[in-house]
Chain A
Amino acid sequence: MSESLPAPSATVQTSIPTESGMVPQPRSARPSWLLAGWATLVFGFLYLPIAVLVMMSFNDSRILALPIRGLTFDWYITALQDEPLRDSLWNSLKVAGIATVLATVFGLLAAFAIYRYRFPGRSAFRIALNLPILLPGIVTGVAMLAFFSDLGFGLSLGTVILGHVVFGIPVALGPLLTRLGQFPRSLEEAAYDLGAKPAQVFLDVVFPYIRSAVIAAALLAFTLSFDEVVVTIFLTGRDNTLPMEIWGRLRTSITPEIAAIATVVLLTSTVLVLLSQRISARDSA
């Protein structure tokens, strides 16, 4: 759920059959209801399954099937009373919380290094940091598993956290680097000039300037970690994270309490992502 929305307009424009061949038409030449209809179809395709899941979590029926028989919050209560589910939710919060802090701190350090210093291998460094989100999760997962077993690490939530940090750093790096790139060097010089020591310059001038990007970066890293499955599969020990627990149960059947917990996760993720977008939009304006 952390992936951003595909731009629907691009899909729409390329998919409308054009009678006049390759000649571009002015926007007003197309009836707007066609565009609206197409957009509805695309969004429906993307979000209807999620909407159905949300509906099922309120459906007064043991099986996930239409029609709706009645409205109930029972499945939410059941889900909360389900101890393995509750434990896994707590595990996920722990993992995501710690991984977020680490990823944001390391992401900030890396962003600072890239922004401030010209060193040999600077662009290679940058690409290397971004590799974990470019490579398929399965590659990263296998690689880390092999690495940890070579080192003799036992698999646990600790290894999961490390795996998520590797993912979180490039995610956090993006917004941080963008914001730092906008930072006027003269502000820093002005602070030094007025008598601020390096640590004070960072706290009083640099950090307030990038604060919104730090929050946005942390929220992104958190959402990503919270619903991560692929890398987690390879690195998890006895304790399960929430997505793992859900995935495990799906092999037998989809129960309404899973729909309920999924709805909670969906809501939280959406709020976090919207929040991070909003915070970074506010300050870069």
Chain B
Amino acid sequence: MKDQRLVYLDRVSKVYGTAAHPVYAMREVTLDVQPGEFFSLLGSSGSGKTTTLRLIGGFELPEAGHVYLGGKDVTQLPAYRRDVHTVFQSYALFPHMTVVENIAYPLKLAKEPQSAIAERVQETLKMFRIPDLGDRRPAQLSGGQQQRVALARALINRPKVLLLDEPLSALDAKIREEVRQELRALQQETNLTFIYVTHDQEEAMALSDRIAVMHNGQVKQVGTPREIYNHPADLFVAQFVGKANFLQGAIADLSDTTATLQTQGASFTVHRQPNAAIPLQKGTDATLMIRPERLQLNPDTALPNRLSGQLTHLTYIGQLLEATIETPLGTLRVTQLGHTALQPGEVELGWNPDDCQIVDYSATR
């Protein structure tokens, strides 16, 4: 059963602090990563994403749960006996070694013959386009170069899994995007499994096959970037990833495929998600989410969901135009393409049942 899971975390908990005041860095985290996958752990600081990475790397012992690598329980195995390498946030290049010595270090530890090491190192230097830097020390390299060396060192003996701890955060914004594309290309070329920690949702979206959104030591949702963005599992994910509009109401009607949300003076139809974790119930309170770009302004055709309001504010940000609209149900944000002609004043909003979703619901009220 575990064959397809290269990395599998089974209800892992990590606790810091004292017995009287425990601080959960991870709370029953269950995750699986497939071979060849680019998997991201996305969350703000303190969400437990880095702890999760360190646990897979072998730098932390969990208080509960198990970590499996290639089907083998490695929970108690130290870092040096795991076929997993890490690219640290600070790169952690050995300052007293040259670039060549740094890159050759894992091969030297694996007791490869000298000639084979030299050859592999030269190949790797070329592959990472740093062939002239071999004799330099880390202190003589730029941030981008250090990052390449760190990647080269971690990849040279092709580990089963590469862990990356916010590797782009120390780089200038300009080269960050460039390195991001290289990283994705590298992963696809080598077909290795990458687990990538970031707090930057755009980065996670652009790079990942799948993303795990973490919050307060818990995994809130695992899915492809599209799934996470279009069908957030709950209110937190909807708010954390991208921008969103929320409408409060109560579920007035339910069918197999749709739900009707009743608010003050209006009702909206929603397509039910077949995979939604929320068991909808008639009569309970619920929150409807609509992404700003899914709202249509003054639609040509009559759409099932309609709301009128006052356009009060426009923000022009080049390719996009952001409109703020005051409605009886609250302030909504609408994103349009930048060239759209818009004026403040009375507007009509419309959207399809497919373009919105119920993200939060409480059965208690």
| A interface with B by C-beta (< 8 Å) | 184, 186-187, 189-197, 200, 204-205, 208-209
Contact = CB atoms under 8 A, between A and B. Distances in A.
Contact of B59 (A189, A200, A204, A208): A189
Interface string B34-67: 0000000000000000000000011100000000
A187 B96 CA distance: 11
A263 B92 CA distance: 48
B95 A193 contact: no
Interface in B137-171: 153-154
A204 B105 contact: yes
20 contacts: A184-B90, A184-B92, A186-B88, A186-B89, A186-B90, A186-B92, A187-B95, A190-B86, A191-B105, A192-B58, A192-B78, A192-B79, A193-B57, A193-B154, A194-B105, A195-B80, A196-B80, A200-B109, A204-B94, A209-B96
Contacts of A204: 94, 105
B90 A194 contact: no
B341 interface: no
Contacts of A197: 80
B106 interface: yes
Nearest to B86: A193
B110 interface: yes
Residue among A189, A192, A193 with the highest chain B CB neighbour number at 10 A: A193
Contacts of A187: 92, 94-95
Given A187-B94, A189-B79, A195 B57 contact: no
Interface string B65-107: 0000000000000111000111011101111100000000110
A189 B106 contact: no
Contacts of A195: 80, 106, 109-110
Interface size bracket, B side: 20 to 34
B105 A193 contact: no
Interface of B: 57-59, 78-80, 84-86, 88-90, 92-96, 105-106, 109-110, 153-154
Contacts, number: 59
Contacts of A196: 80, 105, 109
A204 B105 CA distance: 9
Nearest to B95: A209
Q: Which of A184, A187, A194, A208 has the most CB of B within 10 A?
A: A194
A195 B106 CA distance: 6
B88 A190 contact: yes
A184 B94 CA distance: 10
Nearest to B89: A186
A186 B86 CA distance: 10
A37 B109 CA distance: 61
A219 to B, nearest CB: 20
A283 to B, nearest CB: 9
Contacts of A209: 95-96
Given A189-B59, A191-B94, A195-B110, 18 more contacts: A187-B94, A187-B95, A189-B88, A190-B88, A192-B58, A192-B78, A193-B58, A193-B84, A193-B85, A193-B86, A193-B154, A194-B85, A194-B106, A194-B153, A194-B154, A195-B109, A205-B94, A208-B94
A182 to B, nearest CB: 11
Nearest to A186: B92
A208 B94 CA distance: 10
Given A186-B90, A189-B59, A197-B80, A208 B110 contact: no
Contacts of A186: 88-90, 92
A235 to B, nearest CB: 40
Nearest to B90: A186
Contacts of B79: 189, 192-193
Name the 10 nearest CB pairs between A and B, nearest first.
A190-B92, A186-B92, A192-B79, A194-B106, A195-B109, A208-B96, A193-B86, A192-B80, A186-B88, A195-B80
Contact of A193 (B80, B93, B110): B80
Q: Which of A184, A187, A209 has the most CB of B within 10 A?
A: A187
Contacts of B94: 187, 190-191, 204-205, 208
Contacts of B84: 193
B143 to A, nearest CB: 16
A31 to B, nearest CB: 44
B335 to A, nearest CB: 41
Contacts of A193: 57-59, 79-80, 84-86, 154
A25 B88 CA distance: 51
Contacts of A190: 86, 88, 92-94
B77 to A, nearest CB: 11
Contacts of A192: 58-59, 78-80
A195 B153 CA distance: 12
A196 B57 CA distance: 14
Contacts of B95: 187, 209
A208 B105 CA distance: 14
Given A186-B90, A189-B88, A194 B109 contact: yes
Contacts of A200: 109
Contacts of B80: 192-197
A196 B110 CA distance: 9
Contacts of B93: 190
